[in-house]
Amino acid sequence: MVTAPLTASLPLIVLVGPTAVGKTGLAISLAQAVGGEIVGADSRQVYRQMNTGTAKPTPEQQRTVPHHMIDLVDPDETLSLAEYLDGAYAHIDAIHQRGGVPLLVGGTGQYITALIDGWSVPKAAPDAAFRAEMERLAAVHGRGVLAERLRNLDPDAETFVDMRNPRRVIRALEVIRATGKPFSAQRAKTPPPYRVLHYGLTMARERLYAQADQRVNAMIAQGFIDEVQQLLTHGYSADLPSMSALGYREIAAYVENRTSLDEAVQAIYSATHDFIRRQYTWFRKHNADAEWLDKDTLDFPAWLQTVQARLAHHPAGGDGDFSQGK
């Protein structure tokens, strides 16, 4: 069972938002102003050697503000939700002990929701044979067959499992198989004792799509093709779960002469827009209490004053002045 550290009403700034909206830049500016450190909440930035295509913070950005929970596993390894939570809680606790302000930042809604809600995540070991069997089933009959199987075994799982994400569905089925219990019955919640300052970053949808497309173009210019080529050369198959990150399989198809670069880029545009729509669906359901900030109209100095005031105001039992990272 994943357990949260026993901190005493210490602050946690949460910044969630869709891909390409500008979370990294805003988070770095905020962290610099409040004496913060960033705890990543991105399920693709945990992979080493996958930098350009995942929009991982650059070495310069990581020198500017400490970043945690990135570069944790190789592309052919896995990081379970339980392992993510254990690591994130440990870093948040360590940041508090150093007198800093932790900022939980990312677009992987499940990571963020699980952490701030205190999900108790079953630690059933991965079953490679079972996963391969489920993937073959989906390949033959479509992804919907996996979701239908999960609904039949555990109707309540749909309330928190993304049924359109085959990896999430297979993991739920895997846990049920290993434990003999409904996945939903193993998801008790014990919210950690953090004082959460919960923000979401957004912008007009068509503007966001255009910005996401521009970022794809920039990634290509910055060496995304070479990055994928190196991964393939090092023996990392395009079929690996890590390579389901936006753009990697599309660029792999180009590298292997199975499509043109223009077709690959157009496919990435489409996949990214679809991913953004799915992210917003999750945010509407699980981040309803966030204060949403429009990236295009945000008055950063005014918002910073609000954040600092909230950090300085702590309830009885809290300690420390976190408004200036003290």
| 243 exposure class (CB count in 10 Å sphere: 0-12, 13-18, 19+) | buried
Q: Residue 120, Cβ neighbours under 10 Å: how many? A: 16
Q: What is the pLDDT of residue 162?
A: 83
Contacts of 277 (CB under 8 A, 6+ apart): none
The CA–CA distances, whole Å, from 169 to 108, 187, 217, 279 equal 16, 15, 32, 17
pLDDT digits (tens, 9 = 90+) for 128-178: 899 989 999 999 999 899 999 999 999 988 877 888 888 889 989 999 999
Q: What is the pLDDT of residue 1?
A: 39
Give the CA radius of gyration of the chain: 20
CA distance linking residue 19 with residue 144, whole number of Å? 25
Q: What is the pLDDT of residue 318?
A: 44
Q: What is the pLDDT of residue 288?
A: 87
Contacts of 50 (CB under 8 A, 6+ apart): 44, 56, 75, 227, 231, 242, 245, 248
> Which residue ranges of the chain lie beneath pLDDT 50?
1-8, 316-321, 323-326
How far the first Cα of the chain sits from its last, in Å, is 33
Q: What is the pLDDT of residue 6?
A: 44
pLDDT digits (tens, 9 = 90+) for 186-202: 777 888 989 999 999 99
